[in-house]
């Protein structure tokens, strides 16, 4: 399946939406007639479709032909399945849309990520005429030489540090941790703690420590937590209990390694009557809808899932494939949990 024809960047539904100043959904409603659209709006959409040369039915045509082009998305089947994490759910939906925009269907499927099972899944994909594989490996080591021999193009997602000869991409977690920790310090906190994995080589741990050192403040405390909602809740209880044992507790600040963990921390603080941000300020990581709808709204580092999804699919389908690691910057989203004067 290597050496397929190049897939130039075609206009996407999103491009049309941006040019017409409407949502993606309104583009679909206009073109598919699935919901009523005001005449003036529909005209703007159709003008944008013409101007950009958007071909809305490309995916549908490929599917109707019965020989649809298809990519596989391999995700972990862990005890904490990927789709129960809203961040990855949103990432998967974005990848699906990016593939569809290029006329590809996406099969999402789970694996234990044991090396023999990953290899078996790659062979299975090849046998089923799948055109390429997106691998949500995270920190799991992959036997890239063995996978390459299967002959399918593949790219690893959610990768922090590139490996020679492997196509991969991921958010710059370290830089994100620096940005969030620095932001909390700028709110006037004399120190910033970290709630996350107990792994000093993990980029968010590294970035947190770097930011504290650069600011000349003591780093701490570090609160080890599983990166799940219950893990965050447990960490939050420990922080709240330590605080209530202190006769004159000072305001504190914590950088929390993921939105999901932070939702658990928030929950524990609500249970213990700890006010956010007045008693303890929080900044988290990912930029999922969970952070937006938490109370108070979570200041977070938004991973650029749109840009990463577009790049992952484009690189997978390029004739002239590169095998480099691509690092994406993210974006600080200010809400109320850190002390910023946001509506949230």
- Chain positions contacting a second copy, by CB under 8 A: 23-25, 28, 32, 60, 63-68, 70, 72, 77-86, 89-90, 92-93, 96-97, 100, 105-110, 112, 114, 116-117, 120-121, 123-124, 127-129, 229, 233, 263-264, 266-267, 270-271, 289-290, 292-293, 295-296, 343
Distance (Å, rounded) from C-alpha 121 to C-alpha 213? 44
Distance (Å, rounded) from C-alpha 31 to C-alpha 27? 6
Q: Tell me which DSSP letter residue 277 carries.
A: T
Distance (Å, rounded) from C-alpha 21 to C-alpha 41? 9
Minimal distance, residue 100 CB to a second copy, in Å: 7
CA 153 to chain centre: 22
Minimal distance, residue 18 CB to a second copy, in Å: 15
Minimal distance, residue 4 CB to a second copy, in Å: 18
With contact defined as beta carbons under 8 Å apart, do 75 and 108 qualify? yes
With contact defined as beta carbons under 8 Å apart, do 106 and 73 qualify? yes
**112 or 319: CB nearest a second copy:** 112
Minimal distance, residue 220 CB to a second copy, in Å: 27
**99 or 317: CB nearest a second copy:** 99
**66 or 247: CB nearest a second copy:** 66
Task: Dig out the tokens for 321 from the structure.
Answer: 């494939």
**148 or 292: CB nearest a second copy:** 292
Minimal distance, residue 14 CB to a second copy, in Å: 11
**102 or 233: CB nearest a second copy:** 233
Distance (Å, rounded) from C-alpha 285 to C-alpha 299? 8
**155 or 294: CB nearest a second copy:** 294
Number of CB atoms found within 10 A of residue 191's CB: 16
Say if residue 217 is exposed, middle or buried (CB neighbours under 10 Å; 0-12, 13-18, 19+): middle
Minimal distance, residue 60 CB to a second copy, in Å: 6
């Amino acid at each position: 399946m290597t050496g397929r024809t190049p897939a130039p960047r075609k206009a996407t539904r999103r491009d049309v939406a941006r040019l017409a100043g409407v949502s993606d959904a309104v583009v679909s409603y206009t073109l598919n007639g699935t919901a009523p659209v005001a005449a003036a709006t529909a005209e703007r959409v159709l003008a944008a479709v013409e101007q950009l040369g958007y071909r809305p039915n490309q995916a549908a045509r490929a599917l109707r032909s019965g020989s649809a082009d298809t990519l596989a998305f391999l995700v972990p089947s862990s005890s904490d399945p990927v789709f129960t994490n809203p961040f990855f759910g949103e990432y998967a939906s974005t990848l699906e849309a990016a593939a569809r925009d290029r006329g590809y269907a996406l099969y999402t499927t789970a694996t234990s990520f044991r090396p023999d099972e990953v290899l078996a899944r790659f062979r299975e994909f090849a046998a089923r005429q799948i055109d390429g594989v997106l691998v949500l490996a995270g920190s799991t080591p992959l036997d890239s030489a063995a996978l390459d021999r299967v002959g399918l193009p593949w790219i690893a997602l959610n990768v922090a540090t590139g490996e020679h000869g492997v196509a991969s991409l991921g958010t710059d977690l370290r830089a994100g941790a620096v940005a969030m920790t620095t932001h909390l310090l700028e709110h006037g906190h004399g120190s910033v703690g970290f709630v996350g994995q107990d792994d000093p080589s993990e980029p968010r741990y590294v970035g947190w420590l770097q930011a504290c050192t650069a600011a000349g403040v003591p780093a701490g405390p570090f609160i080890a937590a599983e990166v799940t909602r219950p893990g965050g809740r447990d960490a939050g209880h420990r922080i709240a209990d330590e605080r209530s044992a202190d006769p004159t507790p000072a305001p504190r600040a914590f950088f929390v390694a993921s939105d999901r963990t932070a939702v658990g921390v928030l929950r524990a603080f609500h249970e213990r009557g700890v006010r956010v941000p007045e008693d303890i300020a929080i900044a988290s990581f990912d930029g999922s809808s969970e952070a937006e709808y938490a109370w108070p709204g979570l200041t977070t580092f938004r991973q650029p899932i749109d840009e990463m999804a577009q790049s992952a699919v484009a690189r997978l389908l390029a004739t002239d494939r590169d095998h480099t690691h691509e690092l994406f910057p993210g974006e600080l989203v200010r809400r109320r949990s850190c002390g910023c004067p946001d509506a949230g």
